[in-house]
Structure 1
């Protein structure tokens, strides 16, 4: 998965975790629905200002869009990592610690 696709996957995961539609995100960042759709599908890459606007609209840090495993990561693995990362944005520290503990147990199996 290339960087455009990875960023798009991250945008989509964070948007869905916020319960926001593509149209609502587009309105929040003053862009068209098609622009958001193209970004999420990795067809186009956002410039830094747009990405900053998206991060603000989705209440995530800008680094969220770049924290990924490049190279030989499968599309499924990349999507699941994005979804897991977006999910952790919604939980408090105690629940996050529990998620980390569960992940460690599952990884050992």
Structure 2
């Protein structure tokens, strides 16, 4: 069983959610205007993978956590986005709740 790279799927999904074109996203993260569209297209098609620094810039621009791009299941991707919006205190509460070690 071969695992599909989740990055192209998540990238396209997040970009469309914020209604940015491939070119606009590429330009916003600092790719030259003449190659921005083609490069983003290659990332979304899985022909090339962005390096981690580029992926961080994309995540910031699309307002998703970096780990979102590595989620294979849709539910994990949604959880990653929701958890990223929580405060540190709220995250700790969630960890406690999920691990069954909630203090009463």
TM-score (norm 1): 0.60
How far the C-alpha of 1:2 sits from its partner, in A, is 2.6
What's the secondary structure of 1:24's corresponding residue?
A: helix
Report the equivalent of 1:55.
59
Cα distance between partner residues in 1 of 2:57 and 2:44: 15
Shift of 1:59: 0.6
Structure 1 residue 28: Cα displacement: 0.7
Alignment gaps of 5+ in structure 1: 70-80, 90-109
The number of residues matched between the two structures is 76
Query: Over alpha carbons, which structure has the higher Rg?
Result: 2
Compute the TM-score of the two structures, normalised by the length of structure 2: 0.63
Tell me: higher relative CO, structure 1 or 2? Use CA pairs within 8 A at least 6 residues apart. Answer: 1
Root-mean-square deviation (CA, aligned residues, Å) is 2.5
